[in-house]
Every structure is written in structure tokens, then in C-alpha cells.
Amino acid sequence: MKSRQILAASILAADFSRLGEEIREAEAGGIDWIHVDVMDGHFVPNLTMGPHVVEACRRVTDLPLDVHLMIEKPENLLANFAIAGATRLTVHVETCPHLHHTLNSIKDLGISAGVTLNPGTPLTFIKEVMDEVDLILIMTVNPGFGGQQLIKKTLQKVMAARKLQTLHPRDPAYIEVDGGIDPLTIKDTVHAGADVFVAGTAIFQHPLGARSGVQALREALKSGSVKE
């Protein structure tokens, strides 16, 4: 199991009029990754950002850019996001009829590949590609908008994902959770087996700023950690 607990700041909740400043503030607070939610208005009911935003993020930080593609036909844009500076591209099993091929196309670009499951999608859909990914993203809300409450039933899927990846001899994939993560819910996801925690509202809309938001989550992680 990868030992470090990783906090990823979702810029979906950031103030885009001062995006660079927001990212730098989160980085000053000790954030590990920057999470970029790409939505096309078709697969999910929202339209957000594209490769140019990833490129802008790369200009202001050297942190890993964790790019979550909530789009139809992601294979058409993989190279664009890789060139823009993505560290990892995560695609939805629901939008990839040839998932194995798509994941290998990502790796052929020299970056890491991840796979995502919506709350209603069974974990069985990714069993055949476990050796192709370095991250499994379990959506803990229905994707499309920030600020939602974590769906408690998804914690069972996180537990099952943790058990599934221990069966594979290669370096186990990260288990990432995204949606409704705050200083209270993050403890539940730790106990379920997650090791990467995506938070947007809890960071960028913290009353004392992004730095304080990151630090509050880090403290919650410390108090909620499971002894190995």
C-alpha cells in the first residue's frame, strides 16, 4: 500500500479571477496535488475547463496535476491534456467502451493513468484493468457540481476497492475519493481505505482562505488516521 495520505485541491471551487493566487495559497498550506475537473456538458450536466486551464495551472505550480476527464470520447483529447502539462489523466469507465486501450493510450503519452467510477457503477467494471492503472477514483457524489454531500454508501465501494487492489502484486493503485470531502467526512474515507482525498469547497471556500482549508484537512487526517 502506498503509505502517504495525499490531499488534492479541486480548482472547481476556486475563484477563477485569481486562479494562480488560489493555487499558490493552497500550495503554501501544504497541498500535495492540484485536481482539475474537466466537464463537457454532455456526460455530466456542467461545462467547465479544458487544456488551456491545465496549461495555466502548470505555469504557476510544479505540483502534480491530477486531471479528471468527465467527458465523452476522452480518447480524442488525451494528447491535448498531456501536452498542456497533466501529470495524470483519469477517465470514466462509463465513457470508455475500450477502456484497456484508452488507459494504454494515456500511458503511451508518458503520464499516469487512472480510472473513475460513478456512485452507481459497480466495482466489477474495473477488475480487468487493475494492472493498467495507478489510481482508482471513487466518486462519492454524483459528478457535475461541487459542494455536494458525500454519499455514505460509496464508502462500501472504497472498502471493496482497497481489498481488490491488494490482490494485485504490482505497486498498488491509489484509492482516491472525490465529493463532499471536509474535515468531518475525510475521517470516514480514511477508515474505508482511501489514500487520496479531493476537496474543493473545504479548501477554496474556507473562511480564512485556502491555506487554512488545507491545514484543517491535514489536521483531520492526522486525527483520523488508521494505525497500520
Q: Catalogue the active-site residues.
A: 37, 178
- Cα separation, 148 vs 153, whole angstroms: 14
Length of the chain: 228
User: Which amino acid appears at position 226 of this protein?
Assistant: V
Take residue 175 and report the three cell numbers written for it. 484509492
Structural contact between residues 162 and 174, judged by C-beta atoms closer than 8 angstroms? no
DSSP three-state, residue 140: coil
Take residue 104 and report the three cell numbers written for it. 494504454
The helix (run of H) or strand (run of E) holding residue 34 is strand 33-39
Take residue 23 and report the three cell numbers written for it. 493555487
CA 124 to chain CA centroid, nearest Å = 20
CA dihedral 215, 219, 221, 224 (to 10 degrees): -160
